[in-house]
């Protein structure tokens, strides 16, 4: 505020002059422009600030699904009673052959996504998809509130010969399991593991 001193017959009087309406409007406009610029610069950062949180959630989900799959048998023909033979060995049933289109033959009662708890070998999970609203954990507890708007898909195939060159198993004795999790922001994270026939 501007203050000026005025000399009157009563003596020295201090008078004050306020801010004019035009000065007030100009100040508001300048402040609005400054706030708009700051918001425009920081706005994209707010959106990106949730990415690490979504990546952690997606990692939890992908790792959990991969652990669930890896706990199952290698193949439908794998003995589950502690036999010394494994599928594909001499005197044991042959391992399941993957179809030329990449799909696996359906096992009885294990082909529907809602029967995930009945899956007993890794290839049962091939083409398994779920979104956050229908996800459950291994105990069939609902996870909809935790993973809303997340999507999950699983792919299972025999490993390529080049991928298993460092181990002493044939390519048809190793399955590659890939779990892909899509976050609500649209980014995808992949988790892969090999399951050997041992």
Better-scored residue on pLDDT, 13 or 80? 80
Better-scored residue on pLDDT, 10 or 186? 186
**Above pLDDT 90, what percent of the chain?**
28
Q: Is 167 left (phi over 0), alpha (psi -120 to 50) or beta?
A: beta
| pLDDT tens for each residue of 83-137 | 777 887 888 888 888 888 888 887 766 655 556 777 888 988 988 888 877 787 7
Better-scored residue on pLDDT, 143 or 82? 143
- For residue 8, the model assigns a pLDDT of 57
Better-scored residue on pLDDT, 50 or 173? 173
Specify whether the CB–CB gap between 2 and 17 falls below 8 A: yes
Asked whether the whole model's pTM tops 0.85, one would answer: no
What is the chain's mean pLDDT, rounded?
82
From residue 42, give the alpha-carbon distance in Å to each of 7, 29, 33, 51. 53, 20, 14, 15
Beta strands in 27-173 (DSSP E): 129-131, 151-158
Confidence of residue 162 (pLDDT cuts 50, 70, 90): low
Domain ranges of the chain: 2-48, 51-196
């Amino acid at each position: 505020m501007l203050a000026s001193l005025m000399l009157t017959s009563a003596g020295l009087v201090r008078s004050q002059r306020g801010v004019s309406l035009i000065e007030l409007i100009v100040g508001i406009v300048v402040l609005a422009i400054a706030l708009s610029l700051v918001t425009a610069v920081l706005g994209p950062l707010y959106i990106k600030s949730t990415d690490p949180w979504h990546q952690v959630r997606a990692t939890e989900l992908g790792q959990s699904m991969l652990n669930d799959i890896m706990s199952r048998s290698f193949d439908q023909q794998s003995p589950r009673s502690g036999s010394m033979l494994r599928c594909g060995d001499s005197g044991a049933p042959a391992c399941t052959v993957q179809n030329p289109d990449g799909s696996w033959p359906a096992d009885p009662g294990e082909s529907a996504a809602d029967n995930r708890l009945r899956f007993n070998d890794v290839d049962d999970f091939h083409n398994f998809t779920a979104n956050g609203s229908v996800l459950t954990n291994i105990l069939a507890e609902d996870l909809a509130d935790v993973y809303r708007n997340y999507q999950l898909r699983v792919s299972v195939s025999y490993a390529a010969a080049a991928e298993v060159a460092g181990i002493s198993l044939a390519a048809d004795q190793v399955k590659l399991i890939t779990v892909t999790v899509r976050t609500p922001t649209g980014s995808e994270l992949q988790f892969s593991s090999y399951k050997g026939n041992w």
